[in-house]
Structure 1
Amino acid sequence: MPNRLARAALRTACLAAGMAVAPQAGAQAPGTPDPGVRTLRPVTISAKANSDPVEKSYRKMIRGMDLFEREKSLAPNASLRFKLLPRRRETDMNAIAMEVIGTTVDFPVAIAPDQTFSLPRDTKAFAEDAQVIPNRKAQSMTWRTEIRTPGLPPGTRRLGDLRLECRVGMEAGLVSRSGGVVDRIAGAVFDTPAYCDKKVPLYLFFSERPLFSVTLTAGARREVLPLVMLYAAASDDPKLDKDLPDCDCEVLVDRTYFLPLGDRSWPDDTLVEFDYMEGG
């Protein structure tokens, strides 16, 4: 049973976090325009040079920002930023350039040294369903939200912040969907932000450093997360080497954890405490 649970959880996480899109039968030949797909105007060298961009919908990301404002009670003192994370060992996360590109609008987005960014609101980009495009190849990076309440003790996060991270991430479309077969379990991940209300949704969070353990603390109540909720639930997976390449946790698996987001016996002010591995 542990093996089966670990493999099911990892496969769900991998599908949810972004599998490579399978080539479709009957696909058009290269260079043939598809009448059903609008081509974005190539306005910069970086946009034209990247033929396989790891892009997201500007409109969906703005809707995620709107959800953050509506549900601010989960994290009343926090701010929202988006974060880029490496998916491959060879991915260069330094000096990433990012643009929002629509049919008639384009503008750059500044990336901070910690690979986080905020997205400016632009009515024309929203109307044109522009794309948010960094100059990196598809499958080289993954995306998450970062919602942090200031003033927390070092090595901790607040559960309400992370609940809202999941909900905004789902609404913003940051969890990529496979173009191939998605099983019924993984399919639930792609429904709505309501998926985050499940007792233990298989939504991958990433810590700052490799993890030894994660503990929830609310007043006198203290509980260490079971091992199956760490490392993408893959600690007992005999085929881990085959599963990881399909997961956006591939190079960060030692930093991943799930949380009981839908277990309301843990209040939003619950502290999530990280015990990191010494020396990584």
Structure 2
Amino acid sequence: MKFSLRTLLILLCCSFSFASISFAQEQGEAPPPQEKSDDGVTQTVEVTNAKNPDWKSYRVMLKGVDAFEKFHARAPQAIHKFILKPRRAEVELRGVSLRLSTDTFSRPIPIAEDGSFSLPIDMQAKEQNAELMINRKKDMFRWWPLVRSPTMLVNQRRLGDLRLECEMFWAIYYDDLPFIARNFVRALGGPCNTKKVSFSFPAEFMGLKEATLIEGDRRQSLPVDLLKSSYSLSLFNNAYSDDAVIELVYENSKAETSESRKRNFNGLSVAVGL
């Protein structure tokens, strides 16, 4: 029997909503964080221009960094990164800023044009339960681990990169799953380490036509959802090493290097076969 983990994802979303409400009730209208300039003068720092801004726990996101270090051998040339992915086409990255904040300090974190950023290691911020905050309302962006080996082309994904992304994602969101869902997934060995779990990855752009897993002379065609512009596979496949490459072919091959291509805003989905 094969079914979608939609129920688990719904419960996960409910967990996020509950956590957001609890955080808002506990914090109330907290004063804006402050930081000191070079001359020692305390200055007020503007963190956001949006009510109910989106945020993530710094401690939780550091679990993704820990997972990256633990499984770094899967993508030895990559550096740890995360990315803010717009949930809808009308949501823009332009003007988005990110800060690491507590009640007593605020530290800006640079964001690249594609929404990617590296997470600094700050023990003081960790001890003070800092939050990562963007100047946008909740549910406009997905917070996602990003692993991309520098040798990959725009239409390629390395299997080891995807496996490492999975480990980072699982480390970050594991505790947000309800108890039953958490233990159900763990009983399978974790989503990244079982053949019973398959992932549907969104291509970077719309118009995906084909997806092929390639290593040496071996080629395996992957299922493609043309409507969602996504491809599916199980990450636990001993027949292919971390150096295997997924090659993506789009409907308009000439557009693969064009800036005018439409981005794909679909998210990752998971299915379990029992």
Look up the equivalent residue of 1:265 and give its one-letter code: A
User: Over the residues paired in the alignment, what is the CA RMSD in angstroms?
Assistant: 3.6
Distance in structure 1 (CA, Å) of the matches to 2:125 and 2:169: 20
User: Which consecutive residues of structure 1, in runs of 5 or more, have no partner in the other structure?
Assistant: 236-253
Distance in structure 1 (CA, Å) of the matches to 2:106 and 2:164: 29
**C-alpha displacement of 1:202:** 5.1
Match of 1:42 among 20, 26, 32: 32
SS in 2 for 1:136: strand
Cα-to-partner distance string for 1:22-67 (whole Å, 9 max, x where unaligned): 679xx89xx9x54xx69865324343x4332221111121221122
Aligned partner of 2:218 in structure 1 is: 221
The residue correspondences of 1:187-202 to structure 2 (distance < 5 A) are: 188=184, 194-199=190-195, 201=197
Contact 2:74 2:164 in 1 (8 A): yes
**C-alpha displacement of 1:91:** 1.5
Aligned length: 240
User: Which consecutive residues of structure 2, in runs of 5 or more, have no partner in the other structure?
Assistant: 34-44, 256-261, 263-274
Distance in structure 1 (CA, Å) of the matches to 2:69 and 2:102: 25
1:125–1:111 CA distance, 2 compared to 1 (3 A): same
Match of 2:6 among 11, 15, 18: 11
Contact 2:212 2:219 in 1 (8 A): yes
Match of 2:242 among 265, 268, 280: 268
More strand by proportion, 1 or 2?
A: 2
1:42–1:192 CA distance, 2 compared to 1 (3 A): farther
Decide which moves more: 154-163 or 197-206. 197-206
**TM-score, normalising length: structure 2:** 0.73
Aligned partner of 1:65 in structure 2 is: 65
Aligned partner of 2:268 in structure 1 is: none
Distance in structure 2 (CA, Å) of the matches to 1:193 and 1:168: 15
Aligned partner of 1:240 in structure 2 is: none
1:109–1:217 CA distance, 2 compared to 1 (3 A): same
SS in 2 for 1:79: coil
Contact 1:53 1:133 in 2 (8 A): yes
Cα-to-partner distance string for 1:55-92 (whole Å, 9 max, x where unaligned): 11111212211221121111111122111111123322
**TM-score, normalising length: structure 1:** 0.71
1:15–1:275 CA distance, 2 compared to 1 (3 A): farther
1:91–1:14 CA distance, 2 compared to 1 (3 A): farther
Distance in structure 2 (CA, Å) of the matches to 1:258 and 1:128: 40
**C-alpha displacement of 1:194:** 2.9
**C-alpha displacement of 1:258:** 3.4
Aligned partner of 2:169 in structure 1 is: 169
The residue correspondences of 1:80-99 to structure 2 (distance < 5 A) are: 80-99=80-99
Contact 1:9 1:202 in 2 (8 A): no
Look up the equivalent residue of 1:214 and give its one-letter code: A
Percent identical pairs in the alignment equals 30
Cα-to-partner distance string for 1:119-148 (whole Å, 9 max, x where unaligned): 111111111221111111111111211111
**C-alpha displacement of 1:93:** 1.5
Distance in structure 2 (CA, Å) of the matches to 1:97 and 1:22: 22
Aligned partner of 1:241 in structure 2 is: none
Look up the equivalent residue of 1:167 and give its one-letter code: E
Match of 2:203 among 203, 207, 222: 207
Distance in structure 2 (CA, Å) of the matches to 1:75 and 1:256: 22
Aligned partner of 1:147 in structure 2 is: 147
